[in-house]
Structure 1
Amino acid sequence: MSPTTKIRTVSLILSWLCLIAIVFELGFVPLIWLTPDMAQNAISYSDSLVPVPLADLQSLKGGQLFVVFITLMIPSAVMTFGLWHLRKMFLCFAHNAIFEHGTIRHLKIFSIALLSQTLLSPLAGTLTSLFVTITRPEGERAISIGLSNVEATSFFLGALFLIISWVLGEAVTLHDENRSFV
């Protein structure tokens, strides 16, 4: 199998995996409210996914429920946007559009979305804990601030992808200049 064929095949597979990840990103937060038992099992492996107890989230009503839902969806929406561009980049690779500015632009947008989502997640967690407990009596209100290794890793990966996209953008510009001389 030639390197070009490998790139095209793996990129096509990764584009489909991105699509699955997009569906998961958009579906996870609504899943918390629609299927409490399945959500409990999904959340149990990591407290960073939902910063407050699931029972507290599921007891919310009205405007408080809406505000918490939107707060939890913002990082997911940002990551979905980034995954959409990552998918588009993989599709460009699958169609042999490797060294093109449009392809590199998708990587740059993904990296910015990853950085943004990494910074928004702890903020959303803090706001969620505030919004969930704000109607409680004094002494029972809480603000939870949490950072984990996942955020640090995501931040540095996003920064790495951003730098790589800049370097690749420069390489594509040089490649285009060299083609114009011949």
Structure 2
Amino acid sequence: MSYAGTQVAQIAAISNNRCIGKGNDLPWHIPNDLKHFKALTTAETDAYVDSGVKGIVIMGRKTFESMNCKPLPKRVNFIITTQLDYADTHNLTDYKDVYVAHNLDDALTQAASIAHGLKFDTIWVIGGEQVFKQAMMFTDRIELTVVDTEIENGNAFYPEISDEFKKVANSEVQHDDKSGLAFEFMTYMAKEA
């Protein structure tokens, strides 16, 4: 699949009932999952040393707002919204590594162009529900943290993974002492056509 020769990967933490969000926030706080997310989304080599950028992420407006409207450091951030004045109203015009796009295709096109320039292999799609669904047709890889819990009254869910993907790896089950939750990391790859 890919997009303009660049791998598109999705990364999400989901419950057993596929919940990814409740009240525009993560339904849990698992430090090792956050470290895993940071490690994967900043894994690119610093081909373009001066930039300090180590990854490219695409997210929807609600996901961005769930992070207190703060761009992720060391990553080029793409925010998808239909609000035409979003960059101005959220003081994003001063950031050199933040782009506002008005649809997924525009975000992917610009992200792929930047990825080529920086010699990056991967564009990361980090949420939320609608962005994950729309990006699935371009997705080569899915990195999931599956948290062993059921979330009641969740309001954002990860899409079902079709049989066009194959699970290729999963970690040992880990336990988060503070929350008491068990979780594991899983990797899915798109099957060759």
Name the TM-score, length of structure 1 as normaliser. Answer: 0.24
| More strand per residue | 2
Q: Which has the larger radius of gyration?
A: 1
Name the TM-score, length of structure 2 as normaliser. Answer: 0.23
- Between the two structures, name the one with larger relative contact order (CA 8 Å, sep ≥ 6): 2
